Structure 1
Amino acid sequence: MADALVDPFADQDVIRRLLNESRTWAFVGLGDNPEREVYNQARLLQQRGKKIFPVHPSGATVLGEPGHTSLKDVGPVDVVGVYRRAEFAGEAVAEAIAAGAKAVWLPLDVIDEAAARRAQEAGLDVVMNRCPAVEWALRR
């Protein structure tokens, strides 16, 4: 719990809830390149029973799931993982808010505190600068 006092975007209760209770994850930046970290994270969560939605300009099918070019084409999901460079994170977070997402997860080194605050003010849970795989391993 002390971690949440140090970092308001790493609340362990929120992280635990998103990993354990969420059912649907949209991954912004998820293309069909298995060399990218987003691919590995999406595959891990898919293997753990999450329904994933790839969101990438290519609209490619990824991990057996049809791709989408925009979050607005996906509709409401539990969590939006923002796997874009930090300078593009704000736009993805705004789209997540508009699409009715319940939470946004910005992985390691994707830091946009202003966007994270906007998401919280809109009622979304926010995790930032954390890796789902690492957090999942810590839950075991």
Structure 2
Amino acid sequence: MESMDAETNAEAARILREFSTIAVVGCSRDPAKAAHSVPAAMRAAGFRIIPVNPVADTLLGERVYRHLSDIDEPVEVVEVFRPGPEAPAVAEEAVRIGAKALWLQQGITSGRAREIAREAGLAYVEDRCMAVVRAVNGIRKDAA
């Protein structure tokens, strides 16, 4: 089990080192929720955050999109803050838009989303906090 964790942690760090643009499905308007604070922390570390939310217009100072397919720029990583049963549909949409990685936030898992992502060649992480992985590995996208 530990080697699986080490492998997952290595993959998670690799995703954050290689990619900068993150679409956040389920980005929240509530600053007390992880679905707001985690993307805010990633943005503060220099990542490009694209919020996806069905009702908000602006989050974290960025235009909000209703669906991944509405985003008009390339997305590298799709981060999911939605319940596990919704993850397969998000995975399918991530594949359709050409994302390179699918990341299910800590507490979220989905065997079917994992299958969809891996069959399409996407890097995949589940049940990990993106902000924690970034901080532990000292990964920043700011200009040096």
| Alignment TM-score > 0.5, same fold | yes
Task: Quote the Cα distance in structure 2 between the aligned partners of 1:12 and 1:80.
Answer: 17
TM-score relative to the length of structure 2: 0.87
Q: 1:93 aligns with which of 91, 94, 107?
A: 91
| Contact map agreement 1:54 1:67 (CA 8 A) in 2 | yes
| Contact map agreement 1:82 1:93 (CA 8 A) in 2 | no
Task: Quote the Cα distance in structure 1 between the aligned partners of 2:15 and 2:4.
Answer: 20
Gaps of 5+ in 2: 139-144
The ranges of structure 1 where at least 4 consecutive aligned residues each deviate by more than 6 angstroms after the TM superposition are none
* Post-superposition offset of 1:59: 4.0
RMSD: 1.8
Count the aligned residue pairs: 137
Gaps of 5+ in 1: none
| Contact map agreement 1:120 1:126 (CA 8 A) in 2 | yes
Identity among equivalent pairs (%): 34
Which of the pair has the greater relative contact order for Cα pairs under 8 Å at 6+ separation? Answer: 2
1:65 aligns with 2:62: yes
1:41 aligns with 2:48: no
Who is 2:112 aligned against?
A: 114
State the AA in 1 paired with 2:54.
Answer: P
| Contact map agreement 2:69 2:97 (CA 8 A) in 1 | yes
| Contact map agreement 2:88 2:116 (CA 8 A) in 1 | no
Counterpart mapping for 1:25-40 below 5 A: 25-40=22-37
1:56 aligns with 2:53: yes
State the AA in 2 paired with 1:22.
Answer: F
> SS of the counterpart of 1:46?
helix
> SS of the counterpart of 2:43?
helix
1:127–1:27 CA distance, 2 compared to 1 (3 A): same
Task: Quote the Cα distance in structure 1 between the aligned partners of 2:10 and 2:132.
Answer: 15
